[in-house]
Amino acid sequence: MMIVKKEPMSPEAVDLIASRFKTLGEPVRIRMLQALQGGERSVGQLADLVGSTQPNVSKHLRILQDAGLVGRRQEGNTVYCFISDPMVIDMCDAVRESAEARLRAQADKIRRVRR
């Protein structure tokens, strides 16, 4: 695999990227984003889908919203959430694909050693 050399990132860009990864550092937040891939959901629906409580989901939604990843709208007493930055799904997919490739390479290496 060839790595394309890019210009160094500014300190501000590094901070922004680190903040984005920190935001995604909680598994429940990634599960919430997965649930929102199917479209807009109420906080109650999200809580059911991720197996958590509404107060906990609301806390994590606030963090995702502050990071600009999730938006919300209110209809009566119900708050609906949606993905506001679809690139976050691409980023999660890229990390998953990289991890899967690494695990496949490790499994191949183990198989070769056992022969």
* Domain locations along the chain: 23-114
pLDDT tens digits, one per residue of 58-103: 999 999 999 999 999 999 999 999 999 999 999 999 999 999 999 9
Q: What is the rounded radius of gyration, in angstroms, for the C-alpha atoms of the chain?
A: 18
Please report, as a single letter, which amino acid is at residue 84. Answer: S
pLDDT tens digits, one per residue of 15-46: 998 999 999 999 999 999 999 999 999 999 99
CATH number for the domain whose boundaries are 23-114: 1.10.10.10
Residue 90: both structure tokens together: 């691409």
What's the CA gap between 12 and 8, in Å, rounded? Answer: 11
Asked if 48 contacts 36 with a C-beta cutoff of 8 angstroms, the reply is: no
Asked if 70 contacts 57 with a C-beta cutoff of 8 angstroms, the reply is: no
Asked if 70 contacts 36 with a C-beta cutoff of 8 angstroms, the reply is: yes
